[in-house]
Structure formats: structure tokens, C-alpha cells
């Protein structure tokens, strides 16, 4: 078997495993198919996601179910105003022989749910965001690598903004996707209520392990992409920048700050994964468009005119596309 045939076979296996993954997750998570797709895409792209939704929409259950189906370790960190960086990363303590011993914090797991990340001060937010970027933590001058694969799902509640510390744009940029979690449909909610108020225990079977997840992450990186697709993605990002000669009319009227180069990189890596998950071996412009909204959503800052006229970021992105 040639190297190309081997890659095609691995891509076909990825497509089949992804379908099995969704099947297992759907045993517990009813509806929210787009959210599950984006969440899994983020994991296979070696990215992290920000999930914005009101309480009670099964955010914790979703990420627990994903970690079970992937056979990965999972920790949930509830962010509060008094949370310290050492509560996340761990700290050195004295053992009975009066020697310093490092006690690992909850960050040392494959999948981390950072619940209500905007409820903790910037110092603690920065500790988490540094480990997301570096895949390591530094304690007492020692650099300790984190387990791989490593994925952070941070949640934010869009309702209560009193006593919160909103993430600055520069830190939001570290997230691959901004996923908007909406209320379920009437039929989905009926199914949810029936499922969660019975005594039936849903067993989620393991589909992949950590080694296979890493192999698929590397496969996504190796997917070839045509120059015109890359140029389309970069052009799309340039259209959001007011000072660019490619800026759209809507951008000049309504955008204060556009997306940076990381958006272009993320559009291509996510489009590669989106292509594989749809049975294609190389992404096209359609795949870039499919992932554009959750990638650009948190990277565009509206100006006062847009806010005054009620022009949303979603509307601006739709106009760009």
C-alpha cells in the first residue's frame, strides 16, 4: 500500500469513527447536533472552544459524554471570584519528610471543562489560557507538560454579567470556536424530559482512545488544501479589517477591529477537518464557509454605530459570506 493509499484509508476510517462517535453521544445528548459537530471538530483540530449558553442546557453532561466516548480523562473546574491559579495548576507542599512535593491540579487531564470562566479574576484566567497555548504549566520554575490530547471547553453564561470579568479580545482569540448553545426545539425537549426522568441508564461505549485521537489530529494537519481555498480564507479575514484595501463596505461602517492572522489559520485547519468529516479528502470553499461563523464570531469587535443600529456580529459575518 502506497503512502497516499494509506492516508486515504485512514481518512475513511476517521469518517466512520466520527459517525460512531456521534451515535454514542446521541444516546445521552438529544438534539444540538451542530454543537456536537463543532465540539468534536475542535478536538480533532487541536483547538479549544468557548461555549456560550444559558444554564441548564447540559453543557457539563455534553463534555462528560464526549470524554467517555473518547476514553479520555475529564476534570471540571468551577470558576469563582476567589479561585487562585494554584487551584487550577497545582502547588508544591511539604511532605512528612519535609521535602517539597508537587500536587497536580485539575488541569492535568485530557479534557477540561472550565465552567463560567468569566466569573474568575484575570490572573486565574491567564493561568488557564497559558496552559491552553503552551500545553504545559510552570510551577516553581519547573516546566511540566500536560497530558495529550488536551482540550479545554470554557463556558460563559450570557445572562448575568454583574460581578464578572469578561475575557479580553486577545484572550478570546486563543479559542478556535465560539459556539452558541441555543434552547432545544419543542420535540427535542419532550425527548429530553422523557429520557432524563426515567430510570434507564444510558451506557456510552468507548469509540476511540487517546492514541487514536492524536493520530487523527495529525491526519487533519496533513490534509492537502488548494491555493484558491487558502486565498479565499485569508481574503475573508481581510474583509473584516477596516484598514485593509479589501475591507467590505459593512466592515468600514460597522467594525472597530477585525480578525487577526490566527483566524485565517483556524479557518483552514477547521475546513480540513470539516472536509474529512463530510467524506472529502481536501477542503473547498464550502468547508471554509461552514466553519466561518464560530471562528469569526469572537474575533470581530463592532463599533458604536453598529451597536446603536442593532447590527449583530452574526449579521456582519453573513454579509461577508
- What pLDDT score does 202 carry? 79
C-alpha cell at 214: 492524536
C-alpha cell at 118: 468569566
Contact 178, 298 (CB under 8 A): yes
- What pLDDT score does 99 carry? 77
DSSP 81: T
Element (H, E) at 303: none
Q: How far apart are CA 43 and CA 37, in angstroms?
A: 10
Q: How far apart are CA 94 and CA 72, in angstroms?
A: 31
Contact 30, 184 (CB under 8 A): yes
DSSP secondary structure, 143-198, as one string: EEEPPSS-EEEEEE-SS--TT--PPPHHHHTT-SEEEEP-PPPHHHHHHHHHHHTS
pLDDT digit string (tens) for the chain, length 321 residues? 677 778 888 889 999 999 999 998 888 888 788 888 999 999 999 999 998 887 777 788 888 888 889 888 899 999 888 888 888 888 777 777 777 777 888 999 999 998 888 888 888 888 888 888 888 887 777 788 888 899 999 888 777 666 677 887 778 888 999 998 888 888 888 888 888 787 777 788 898 888 999 999 999 999 999 999 999 999 999 999 888 888 888 888 888 888 889 999 999 999 999 999 999 999 999 999 999 999 999 998 888 988 888 888 888 888 888
Contact 114, 128 (CB under 8 A): yes
227 CB-side CA count, 13 A: 0
116: left (phi over 0), alpha (psi -120 to 50) or beta: left
Domains and CATH numbers, the chain: 3-196+206-212 (3.40.50.300), 225-320 (1.10.8.80)
186 to each of 28, 31, 192, how far by Cα in Å? 17, 11, 10
Q: How far apart are CA 300 and CA 296, in angstroms?
A: 6
pTM of the model: 0.89
Find, among 35, 161, 296, the residue nearest to 315 by Cα.
Answer: 296
Longest dimension (CA), the chain: 69
Q: How far apart are CA 20 and CA 175, in angstroms?
A: 26
DSSP secondary structure, 3-62, as one string: HHHHHHHHHHHHHHHHHHHHHHHTTT--S-HHHHHHHHHHHHTT--EEEE--TTS-HHHH
**Number of C-beta neighbours around residue 149 at 10 A:** 20
Amino acid at each position: 500500500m502506497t503512502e497516499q493509499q494509506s492516508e486515504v484509508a485512514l481518512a475513511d476510517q476517521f469518517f466512520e469513527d466520527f459517525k460512531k462517535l456521534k451515535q454514542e453521544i446521541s444516546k445521552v445528548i438529544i438534539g444540538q447536533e451542530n454543537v456536537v459537530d463543532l465540539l468534536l471538530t475542535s478536538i480533532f483540530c487541536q483547538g479549544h472552544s468557548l461555549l456560550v449558553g444559558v444554564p441548564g442546557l447540559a453543557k457539563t453532561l455534553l463534555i462528560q459524554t464526549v470524554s467517555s466516548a473518547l476514553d479520555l480523562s475529564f476534570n471540571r473546574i468551577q470558576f469563582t471570584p476567589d479561585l487562585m491559579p494554584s487551584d487550577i495548576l497545582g502547588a508544591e507542599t511539604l511532605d512528612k519528610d519535609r521535602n517539597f512535593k508537587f500536587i497536580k491540579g485539575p488541569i492535568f487531564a485530557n479534557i477540561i471543562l472550565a465552567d463560567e470562566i468569566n466569573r474568575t479574576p484575570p490572573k486565574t484566567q491567564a493561568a488557564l489560557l497559558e496552559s491552553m497555548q503552551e500545553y504545559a504549566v510552570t510551577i516553581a520554575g519547573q516546566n511540566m507538560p500536560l497530558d495529550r490530547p488536551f482540550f479545554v471547553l470554557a463556558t460563559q453564561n450570557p445572562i448575568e454579567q454583574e460581578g464578572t470579568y469578561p475575557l479580553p479580545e486577545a484572550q478570546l482569540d486563543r479559542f478556535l470556536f465560539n459556539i452558541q448553545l441555543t434552547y432545544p426545539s419543542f420535540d427535542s425537549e419532550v425527548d429530553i424530559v422523557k429520557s432524563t426522568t426515567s430510570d434507564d441508564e444510558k451506557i456510552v461505549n468507548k469509540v476511540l482512545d487517546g492514541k487514536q485521537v492524536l493520530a487523527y489530529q495529525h491526519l487533519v494537519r496533513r490534509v492537502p488544501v488548494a491555493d484558491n481555498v487558502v486565498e479565499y480564507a485569508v481574503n475573508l479575514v481581510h474583509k473584516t479589517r477596516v484598514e485593509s484595501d479589501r475591507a467590505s463596505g459593512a466592515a468600514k461602517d460597522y467594525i472597530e477591529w477585525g480578525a487577526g492572522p490566527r483566524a485565517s489559520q483556524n479557518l483552514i485547519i477547521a475546513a480540513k477537518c470539516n472536509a474529512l468529516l463530510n467524506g472529502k479528502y481536501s477542503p473547498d470553499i464550502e468547508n471554509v464557509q461552514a466553519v466561518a461563523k464560530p471562528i469569526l464570531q469572537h474575533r470581530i469587535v463592532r463599533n458604536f454605530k453598529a451597536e446603536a443600529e442593532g447590527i449583530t456580529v452574526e449579521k456582519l459575518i453573513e454579509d461577508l459570506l
